[in-house]
Each structure stands twice: as C-alpha cells, then as structure tokens.
Amino acid sequence: MIRLLMRDAQAAVDVTPGEGWVLPADTVWIDLVEPTREEEVLIEQQLQLELPTREDMSEIEASSRLYREGHATYLTVEVITGAAAEAPKLTPVTFVLVKDRLITIRYAHPRAFKLFEATLAERGGALCDAGESVFLGLLDAIVDRVADILEAASEQVENLSNHIFERPRQTARFEVILGKLGRWRGITAKARNSLISLSRLLVYASVSPFIAEGEEDAVRLKSLQRDVASLTDHAGHLSGDITFLLDATLGLINIEQNGIIKFFSIAAVIFLPPTLVASYFGMNFKYMAEFNLPWGEPLALGLMVVAVVLPMLWFKRKGWF
C-alpha cells in the first residue's frame, strides 16, 4: 500500500497508482506499508533510487542500516509494536530521505505512526512542509511511544512489587506474578533495544549534512538525543528492578516450600517416638511384664504423650516453630 502526504496537508491519503501515474510534485512523505514489489519498483522509477528489501532492513550491521547512496540517505530503526498485545515484537522501519521528501518502508503498524498523524491533523499540516520535518516528527512520535510503554511498565512493576511484598504469600499467586514479570521484562528489553537503535540513528543524523541542514533541525535532533539517553537509562534501571523482583519472587517461593517441608519434617520427628512406643506395646509376645500390670495401659499412653511433648519443647526452644 502507498500512502502520500502532500505539503501543508493534514493527513496522508491512500493512492492506487494506475498506468502512467506520476508522483505529485508537492509530495513530502511517501509511506510504503507492506509494499508489493510492483509498488517498490514504481517509487524507485519515480525517484531514481533503489529501495532496500525486507531482508536488507533486517540486517543488524550499522553499515547496513545507516548509509548514504547516491542522492538518498537510508536510516533503519527498530520500532516496538504490539506492546498492548500478548506478544510484542520489534519491527524494522526504514526512512529514506531524498530530494526534500521522506520515504518510509514498514511491514507492521506501529502505534507511533498513528500518533504522528493524529498530531499532524490536530496542529496543522504546516508543521510538515518538507521530508526532514516529517522525519523528525515521526522520530518524536516513536520516542514518545517508547516513553509511554516504559511508563506503563514502571506502573505495572510497582504494582507487582507491592503484591509480592505486602500480600499473603501463596504459590499460585507467585506463579501469576512470575508470568507478568516475564512479560514486562520482555517489553522493557524490546523498548531498550529500540532506544539503542534510535540513539545510533540520531548520532548519524546529527553529523549528516544532508539531514540537519538548519539550526532548528539540529536543535530538535539534540533534544531527541537527550530524551533517548534519558529513556535508555530509565529502561536499564527498570530492567534491574524487574530482575530483582524475579529473584525475590523465586526466593519467597523457596521460603514457602522450605516452610512446608519443615512442617512435615517436624511432624514426622514428633510422631516417630510415640509410633515406636506403640509398636513395642503392640508386639504379641506371650510374656510381657506390662500385660500383667493393672496400670500398663496408662503407662503406654503416658510414654506416648511424653514422647510427643519433649520433641515439641525442644523444637520450640530452638525456634524452629
């Protein structure tokens, strides 16, 4: 799908190119969403460049993600998508700056793009009179989205921390908590990876003479760099907190299990002596002195009680229960 944003427009529109289609002269943003090869070739012919394939976008080398070729600058960044779903993931998004126009290539629907278009419609299209302005606006939206994700993660981790240390300990609850901690740890790790790729892109963009041409663009890039650095530190601290809570939860589960094992161990030790007494007096020997005594039964019962009380007093003195 091809979407176009015209200069001073307030929204991008979908287009269906036909035979002899020509790219409008006032186009500032070409958004290729899950493009077909025919759509890629059409844009390549219109702008005289070569677009990266989906496989090229997935390369992890910096030289394959940030480079200039001919009259176009290629920048690829990892964007987190599906953070509200059960299985969030990172998806590569490529920005191509060429002739005051921006081309974005994506095979997912990150929420940041919707937020940017909503801001564009609210504030007016005059904010995006060139491809560089759209590029910086999209980066700003991506950074804001990562910030929202980390804020949600921080809130959830705080709630889980209170649940772990303040509520009654039950293994079933801890199993649920472990699942939630694992999910938010995965989201935080993906957000941090996205921020790292953003940081690399911003460093490259800040020194490129083809992107930050004006002082205003340079100031916006510096501001984005500071925001990304701050969010990266926050993600690192949050990841450490989640790791601590994971360790604490496992520790509390071990304490609970040890308490259960300790209870049964003490119970076994307490009832072992009376079991021995009962076993002795239950033997069917013909000649046993206690069988002929009138107080033989009270003696046996008394020995059993003493065998129970003495271990209990000993365990209590040791503080074992």
- Report the alpha-carbon distance of residue 272 to residue 247 in Å, rounded: 37
pLDDT band of 150, cuts 50, 70, 90: very high
User: What percent of the chain has a predicted confidence (pLDDT) above 90?
Assistant: 30
Top pLDDT among 247 and 286 is at: 247
User: What percent of the chain has a predicted confidence (pLDDT) above 70?
Assistant: 89
**Mean of the pLDDT values across residues 14-24?**
83
Structure tokens at 213: 């041409």
DSSP symbols for 204-267: HHHH-TTT--SHHHHHHHHHHHHHHHHHHHHHHHHHHHHHHHHHHHHHHHHHHHHHHHHHHHHH
**50 SS3 class:** coil
DSSP code, position 169: P
How many alpha carbons lie under 13 Å from residue 105 in its C-beta half-sphere? 25
Q: Does the pTM exceed 0.75? A: yes
